């Protein structure tokens, strides 16, 4: 439960903020702009092609009718002229067609009267292609010499040219846009498969990292990316997390070393100081009892001198274990205070309770049955014990007084003949 809370910083990214979405949107946006430009270029190219087409088609149309038109002009034959003009006009896309004789008179004419001014753009694109004037020549007297007999003038209809251009260019534009868009879609897909998806895997693996145990993260397997930057990213991350893990491990080890007594395996003086301070402050805030027991092995110097240091160390370990076993509550603490001195912090314990615990410890140590021939009080190993307890005064700032009382009573127990428990008397 706590785990997920801590992960809130790396919670799943909303889809619209995701890298894949951003990339897709950006790519498609670029594709849109590019395709527009490409479409316009294609339109321009098509317009050029269309210009050539229009010119060629019109010129071939004129070439087709020039013979007959010349004949009509030569004969000054209005019926034939009408036929020519009709034939040309009915081809469509023509605004006006006029056949004139060489005296400048109109022989035949057809035109549309629904001509509206066309757009500026169309004028720019096709305006210069609209008017065609084809002089008409005829070998009038059969000497092989052509003489002018008139002209045919043709004006193309800009609106129908524009219409067919729009139709064509719209198709070309749409196809161009679709082409570029298709490519963009492939690019998006390829990028997703090649980069975004493995990146997403890395992201998910990172979001699942347990900050208390970073070394055991679910290292993603990226398949084909082992040797590229993504692979390096993952292996680099792995090294980083592993290094972080070893740092945590070292920290834990140091903590252990700094709080545990190396010889006996129970808490050391430093841990005791911190623990007592914490518990004492709790007791002061809560105004409840806190008990403190000071213990000292009787005539331990003589024990050491006579049985040797190894035996002395064994003895200290045994006593420490025994005291610890006699104080099973998790809220209490047994520590080695130094040399052959031990202390015990008892939360929520009044003097009577502390005395009970002390008696239990005294009995348990006796039961260890460690013989001590050089003791001046007993033939077995014994303890002198001083006890203090009380509710901390709010005006006090530390457990100084409690410590002093316990220490004083231990001193009294020792000076009073050892192997005893003292729980009264002030320093």
Indicate the length of the chain as a whole number: 427
Buried b (16+ CB within 10 A) or exposed e, 22-48: ebbeebbeebeebbeebbeebbeebbe
Applying CB under 8 A, among 33, 63, 145, 190 the residue interacting with another protein is 145
Q: Which of 394, 423, 389 is nearest to 409 (CA)?
A: 423
Q: Helices then strands (H, E): number in the chain?
A: 12, 9
Stretch binding another protein (CB under 8 A), from 135-143, 297-305, 361-369, 389-397? 135-143
Of 2 and 143, which CB lies nearer to another protein in the complex structure? 143
User: Would you state the structure tokens that stand for residue 137, as one six-digit string?
Assistant: 């020549």
The answer to whether 401 contacts another protein (rule: CB under 8 A) is: no
Q: d(Cα 23, Cα 31) in Å, to the nearest integer?
A: 12
Of 77 and 282, which CB lies nearer to another protein in the complex structure? 77
Of 138 and 272, which CB lies nearer to another protein in the complex structure? 138
Angle at 271 between CA 269 and CA 276, to 5 degrees: 95
Task: Determine the distance from the C-alpha atom of residue 411 to the mean position of all C-alpha atoms in its chain, rounded to a whole number.
Answer: 65
The answer to whether 83 contacts another protein (rule: CB under 8 A) is: no
**Smallest gap, in angstroms, from Cβ of residue 104 to another protein?**
9
Q: d(Cα 194, Cα 20) in Å, to the nearest integer?
A: 11
Q: What is the DSSP string of 220-249?
A: ---GGGTTSHHHHHHHHHHHHHHHHHHHHH
Q: CB-based burial of residue 229 (10 Å sphere; 0-12 exposed, 13-18 middle, 19+ buried)?
A: exposed
Q: d(Cα 102, Cα 406) in Å, to the nearest integer?
A: 142
Q: Which of 185, 168, 220 is nearest to 42 (CA)?
A: 168
**Smallest gap, in angstroms, from Cβ of residue 141 to another protein?**
5
Stretch binding another protein (CB under 8 A), from 18-26, 58-66, 73-81, 379-387? 73-81
Stretch binding another protein (CB under 8 A), from 72-80, 181-189, 260-268, 365-373? 72-80
Q: d(Cα 391, Cα 401) in Å, to the nearest integer?
A: 11
φ, ψ at 302 (rounded to 5°): -65, -40
Stretch binding another protein (CB under 8 A), from 139-147, 194-202, 313-321, 390-398? 139-147
**Smallest gap, in angstroms, from Cβ of residue 84 to another protein?**
15
Of 19 and 76, which CB lies nearer to another protein in the complex structure? 76
Applying CB under 8 A, among 5, 17, 143, 309 the residue interacting with another protein is 143
Stretch binding another protein (CB under 8 A), from 42-50, 69-77, 207-215, 335-343? 69-77
Of 103 and 170, which CB lies nearer to another protein in the complex structure? 103
Angle at 90 between CA 86 and CA 95, to 5 degrees: 90
Of 9 and 141, which CB lies nearer to another protein in the complex structure? 141
Applying CB under 8 A, among 1, 9, 12, 141 the residue interacting with another protein is 141
Of 149 and 422, which CB lies nearer to another protein in the complex structure? 149
The answer to whether 140 contacts another protein (rule: CB under 8 A) is: yes
Applying CB under 8 A, among 23, 27, 66, 77 the residue interacting with another protein is 77
Applying CB under 8 A, among 103, 253, 285, 329 the residue interacting with another protein is 103
**Smallest gap, in angstroms, from Cβ of residue 77 to another protein?**
6
Applying CB under 8 A, among 53, 86, 147, 396 the residue interacting with another protein is 147
The answer to whether 79 contacts another protein (rule: CB under 8 A) is: yes
Of 102 and 238, which CB lies nearer to another protein in the complex structure? 102
Of 137 and 264, which CB lies nearer to another protein in the complex structure? 137
**Smallest gap, in angstroms, from Cβ of residue 105 to another protein?**
9
Stretch binding another protein (CB under 8 A), from 91-99, 145-153, 266-274, 327-335? 145-153
Of 145 and 174, which CB lies nearer to another protein in the complex structure? 145
Q: What is the DSSP string of 297-355?
A: ETTHHHHHHHH-HHHHHHHHHHHHHHHHHH---TT-EEEEEETTEEEEEEET--HHHHH
Q: d(Cα 422, Cα 215) in Å, to the nearest integer?
A: 52
**Smallest gap, in angstroms, from Cβ of residue 61 to another protein?**
25
User: Would you state the structure tokens that stand for residue 205, as one six-digit string?
Assistant: 């693996």
The answer to whether 67 contacts another protein (rule: CB under 8 A) is: no
Q: Give residues in contact with another protein (CB under 8 A).
A: 74-77, 79, 101, 103, 140-141, 143, 145-147
């Amino acid at each position: 439960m706590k785990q997920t809370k801590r992960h809130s910083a790396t919670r799943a990214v909303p889809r619209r903020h995701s890298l894949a979405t951003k990339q897709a949107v950006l790519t498609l946006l670029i594709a849109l702009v590019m395709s527009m430009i490409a479409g316009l270029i294609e339109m321009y190219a098509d317009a050029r092609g269309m210009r050539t087409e229009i010119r060629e088609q019109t010129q071939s149309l004129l070439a087709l009718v020039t013979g007959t038109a010349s004949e009509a002009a030569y004969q000054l034959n209005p019926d034939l002229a009408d036929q020519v003009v009709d034939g040309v006009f009915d081809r469509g896309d023509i605004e006006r067609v006029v056949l004139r004789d060489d005296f400048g008179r109109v022989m035949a004419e057809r035109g549309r009267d629904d001509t509206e001014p066309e757009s500026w753009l169309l004028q720019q694109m096709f305006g210069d292609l609209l008017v065609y004037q084809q002089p008409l020549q005829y070998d009038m007297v059969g000497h092989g010499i052509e003489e002018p007999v008139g002209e045919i003038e043709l004006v193309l209809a800009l609106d129908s040219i524009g219409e067919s251009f729009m139709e064509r260019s719209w198709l070309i534009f749409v196809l161009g846009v679709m082409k570029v868009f298709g490519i963009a879609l492939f690019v998006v897909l390829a990028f997703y498969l090649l980069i975004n998806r493995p990146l997403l895997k890395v992201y998910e693996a990172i979001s699942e990292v347990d900050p208390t145990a970073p070394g055991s993260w679910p290292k993603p397997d990226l398949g084909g990316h082992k040797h590229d930057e993504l692979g390096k990213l993952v292996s680099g991350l792995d090294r980083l997390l592993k290094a972080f893990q070893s740092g945590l491990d070292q920290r834990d080890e140091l903590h252990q070393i700094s709080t545990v007594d190396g010889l006996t395996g129970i808490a050391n003086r430093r841990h005791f100081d911190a623990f007592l301070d914490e518990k004492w402050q709790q007791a002061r805030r809560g105004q409840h009892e806190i008990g403190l027991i000071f213990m000292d092995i009787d005539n331990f110097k003589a024990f050491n001198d006579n049985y040797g240091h190894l035996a002395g160390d064994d003895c200290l370990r045994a006593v420490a274990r025994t005291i610890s076993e006699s104080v099973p509550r998790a809220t209490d603490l047994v520590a080695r205070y130094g040399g052959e001195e031990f202390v015990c912090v008892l939360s929520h314990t009044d003097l009577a309770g502390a005395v009970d615990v002390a008696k239990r410890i005294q009995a348990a140590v006796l039961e260890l049955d460690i013989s001590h021939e050089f003791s001046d009080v007993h033939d077995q190993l014994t303890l002198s014990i001083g006890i203090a307890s009380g509710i901390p005064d709010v005006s006090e700032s530390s457990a100084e007084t409690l410590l002093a009382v316990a220490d004083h009573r231990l001193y009294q127990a020792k000076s009073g003949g050892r192997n005893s428990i003292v729980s009264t008397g002030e320093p």
